[in-house]
Amino acid sequence: MKLSLWCIGKTNESYLKEGIQQYCKKLPHYLPFEYIEWPDVKNREKLSIDLLKKEEEKLILSKLSTSDYLILLDEQGETMSSKGFAQYLQKKGNSINGTCVLLIGGAYGFSEALYQRANGKISLSPMTLSHQMVRLFAVEQLYRAYSILRGEKYHHD
Amino acid sequence: MKLSLWCIGKTNESYLKEGIQQYCKKLPHYLPFEYIEWPDVKNREKLSIDLLKKEEEKLILSKLSTSDYLILLDEQGETMSSKGFAQYLQKKGNSINGTCVLLIGGAYGFSEALYQRANGKISLSPMTLSHQMVRLFAVEQLYRAYSILRGEKYHHD
């Protein structure tokens, strides 16, 4: 399985960029991994929230292959411990042959069509994280998950 | 109420420091706020986990006043949404006259005596965050909570 973490829009804060990069460098030691920031929708400030979500939906659907397994990082998703997340990824790794796309939504979340296209939904926290900070949280949890699966010392119970 | 966020040990990563500082600068606009990193226990590498937790307990208990209201940020704590956290803080603000200390534990969590001293426990996520990254998460959630209480635009439902 190849793991592809997608988000929409550049990371604005340099401190977040730096943290994200640190984990993005480490993850390919565990599995084929890529991190993609798709460009923001043009003139987004002028769109209504619904229209913006629709445009983000079009962008994402145009980038997805039909064979991609799509998991949304979504507040409404399944909650799990870091160990549970590691087991979840292990299971997916055993059953998915192609690419597993983990998608972080824009500032207003996902359109209905993306919920329908999704194969799964995961919640990182019942609290709302900024859609920028959640990127750092996500790469850290991915790193933690694979270090757990390898039995490395990074994670303490 | 004065809010005091405590953690143990310096923040090692400069990118985390930068992010934490950004939120620490904003929080005093909402309420008296301080962020304190107590020094790491000396020779911590040579101590067993239990002894290290005991030393961290001594440090924290020596810094707490008997009147301080102590809330642990702990995986075993109460989970809540960001809005729920805002309401929780509002309630505490109405009932606590002195200082509310939010304590982030060391890498191995809290000793039994700290659990017993605590007035409350909150979980930011069912996932384990690094004890360094959780600092950034915590200040962002505090900022989010107070911006929710003020009816500002930072938070989207």
pLDDT tens digit sequence for B137-148: 999 999 999 999
Residue pointed to by tokens 């690419």? A99
Which of A81, A130, A155 comes nearest B126 by C-beta?
A81
Hey, what CATH class is B2-149 in?
alpha beta
B156, A107 contact by CB (below 8 A): yes
* Chain A: closest CA distance from residue B106 (Å): 11
Could you tell me the two tokens for B115? 């659990």
Q: Residues 119..138 of B with a Cβ closer than 8 Å to A: which? A: 124-130, 133, 136-137
Mutation for testing the B interface, residue in A15, A110, A133 having most B CBs under 10 Å: A15
Cβ burial B10-22 (10 Å sphere, 16+ → b, else e): ebebebbbbbbee
Instruction: Determine the Cα–Cα distance for residues A18 and A9; give it in Å rounded to an integer.
Output: 16
Sequence letter at residue B145: A
Write down the pTM of the prediction: 0.93
Measured between beta carbons, which residues in chain B are less than 8 angstroms from residue A107? 156
Using a CB–CB cutoff of 8 Å, tell me whether B87 touches chain A.
no
* Count of helices and strands (H, E) across chain A: 5, 5
Beta pairing, strands A69-79 & A99-104: parallel
* Chain A: closest CA distance from residue B65 (Å): 30
Instruction: Determine the Cα–Cα distance for residues B137 and A15; give it in Å rounded to an integer.
Output: 13
pLDDT in tens, B15-58: 999 999 999 999 999 999 999 999 999 998 899 999 999 999 99
Q: CB–CB of B127 and A128 under 8 A?
A: no
Could you tell me the two tokens for B148? 């929710």
Q: CB–CB of B124 and A125 under 8 A?
A: yes
B42, B52 contact by CB (below 8 A): no
Mutation for testing the A interface, residue in B48, B88, B108, B127 having most A CBs under 10 Å: B127
Instruction: Determine the Cα–Cα distance for residues B37 and B100; give it in Å rounded to an integer.
Output: 16
Q: CB–CB of A133 and B129 under 8 A?
A: no
Instruction: Determine the Cα–Cα distance for residues B7 and B102; give it in Å rounded to an integer.
Output: 9
Instruction: Determine the Cα–Cα distance for residues B41 and B108; give it in Å rounded to an integer.
Output: 13
Among A91-95, B33-37, B123-127, B153-157, the least confident range: B153-157
Q: CB–CB of A156 and B108 under 8 A?
A: yes
How is chain B split into domains, by residue range?
2-149
Counting every residue written for chain A, the total comes to 157
Mutation for testing the A interface, residue in B11, B13, B14, B15 having most A CBs under 10 Å: B15
Instruction: Determine the Cα–Cα distance for residues A55 and A47; give it in Å rounded to an integer.
Output: 9
Instruction: Determine the Cα–Cα distance for residues B62 and A89; give it in Å rounded to an integer.
Output: 43
ipTM of the complex: 0.90
Question: Order of strands across the sheet with A33-38?
Answer: A33-38, A2-8, A99-104, A69-79, A120-123
Instruction: Determine the Cα–Cα distance for residues A21 and A17; give it in Å rounded to an integer.
Output: 6
pLDDT in tens, B62-105: 999 999 999 999 988 999 999 999 999 999 999 999 999 999 99
| Mean pLDDT for chain A overall | 94
B137, A134 contact by CB (below 8 A): no
Which of A14, A85, A133 comes nearest B140 by C-beta?
A133
